[in-house]
Amino acid sequence: MPRRPLAVGVLLALFALLARPTAAQAQTTACPVMDGAAPALAAIDPYTRLRYLHDRLRDDGRHARAWTTAWVLGFTGLAAGGVVLTGLAAADGNRDEVIDQTVGAAASLVGVGFTLVSSLPVADDALALEARIAAGTAAPCAVLAEAERMVLRDAAAEAAGRAWYVHALGIAFNTGLGLTLGLALGHWRNGIVDFTVGTALSEIQVLTLPGGAVDTLARYRAGDLGARGGQTRVTWSLRPLWTAGAAGLSLTGTF
C-alpha cells in the first residue's frame, strides 16, 4: 500500500513549486499565518509550513492510535480475565468472589469506554489531511489553512485530555467503586485493592496521553520548523500474571 504516501509526496512537491513564487508573484501567492504566530512563521514559504504540519500530524496520529489500541486491548484483557475468574469462583461456590470479580470486570469495561471516548482527533485529522492533499483539488493556501485548524483542534483536545477534571473523574470513579465494595458489601480488602489499582491505571492512562500536537502547535507558531529529534518509540506488552492464590494480566509500556 505505498501508493498513498507516494502520491502525497508528489503533490507536496508540486505544492512546493506553487508556494515558491518568483519575486514578482510573491505578494499575491503568500499564504496568511494563523493568529498568535511569530513573525518568523510569515517568512517561511507555505510549502515548508504544510510539509511540517503534514509530517507532524502523521507522526502524532500514529502515537494516538497506538495509545488508544494499547489501552483498549489492556482493559479488554482485564475484563476477560475478570470473567474467567468469575466463572472459576462460581464453580467453587464462592459467591463473594463472584461479586468482586464481576465488579472488577465491569470496571474494566468502563475503562474501554473511557478510552474510546478519549481517543484523540489527531489520528483522523492526519488521514483527512493526507486525503485532502492527495485529492489535489483545493488551493494551496486553503489546504494550509485547514491543516492549521486541525493542529489547533488537536492541541486543544490533548490539553483537555490532561486537564485536572479528568484526573478528578478517575479518582472519583475508583473511590466510588471501592466504597461500594466496602460499605455496601463489606468486602473492604477487595475494595481497597480495586481503588488502588484502578486509580493507578487511570492516572497512568492520563499521563501517557500523547501530547505531540501541543508541541507541534507551539513550534509552528514560533516558526521553529526544524526536525523534531529525540522521539521515543512507544511499545506495549500484555501478558498473563500468576501469583499465589490469584491470576490476572500484566500491562507493560515503554515511552
Residues 116-174: tens digit of each pLDDT:
998 999 999 999 999 999 888 778 899 999 999 999 999 999 999 999 999 999 999 99
| Exposure on the CB side of residue 30, measured as CA atoms within 13 A | 13
Does position 232 have pLDDT exceeding 50, yes or no?
Answer: no
Neighbours of 179 (CB within 10 A): 13
Handedness of CA 44, 46, 51, 53 (dihedral sign): positive
Measured distance CA(238)–CA(78) in Å, rounded: 10
Given the C-alpha cell 473511557, which residue does it identify?
114
Residue 230: predicted pLDDT: 43
Grid cell, residue 226, equals 526544524
Neighbours of 116 (CB within 10 A): 12
Which amino acid is it at 201?
L
39 to 94, 124, 223: CA distances (angstroms): 69, 30, 8
Averaged pLDDT for residues 236-255? 52
Q: Are the beta carbons of 62 and 171 closer than 8 angstroms?
A: no
Grid cell, residue 195, equals 481503588
Residue 203: predicted pLDDT: 96
Does position 3 have pLDDT exceeding 60, yes or no?
Answer: no
Q: Comparing C-alpha atoms, which of 170, 125, 160, 165 is closest to residue 143?
A: 125
Does position 239 have pLDDT exceeding 80, yes or no?
Answer: no
Residue 228: predicted pLDDT: 60
Comparing 29-33, 204-208, 224-228, 245-249, the range with the smallest average pLDDT is 245-249
- Predicted TM-score (pTM) of the model is 0.78
Proportion of the chain above pLDDT 70, given as a percent: 77
Averaged pLDDT for residues 94-98? 92
pLDDT in tens, 14-69: 454 444 444 444 444 578 989 999 999 999 999 899 999 999 999 999 999 999 99
Residue 151: predicted pLDDT: 97
Q: Are the beta carbons of 178 and 202 closer than 8 angstroms?
A: no
Neighbours of 63 (CB within 10 A): 22
Residue 167: predicted pLDDT: 96
Measured distance CA(115)–CA(205) in Å, rounded: 9
Strand ranges, E, within 107-245: 235-243
Q: DSSP readout, 4-63?
A: HHHHHHHHHHHHHHHHS--TTTHHHHPPP--TT--HHHHTS-HHHHHHHHHHHHHHHHHH
Residue 251: predicted pLDDT: 55
What is the radius of gyration, based on Cα positions, of the chain?
24
Averaged pLDDT for residues 245-251? 52
Q: How confident is the model at residue 6 (pLDDT cuts 50, 70, 90)?
A: very low
What's phi and psi for 92, nearest 5 deg?
A: -85, -5
Neighbours of 92 (CB within 10 A): 10
Comparing 194-198, 218-222, 247-251, the range with the smallest average pLDDT is 247-251
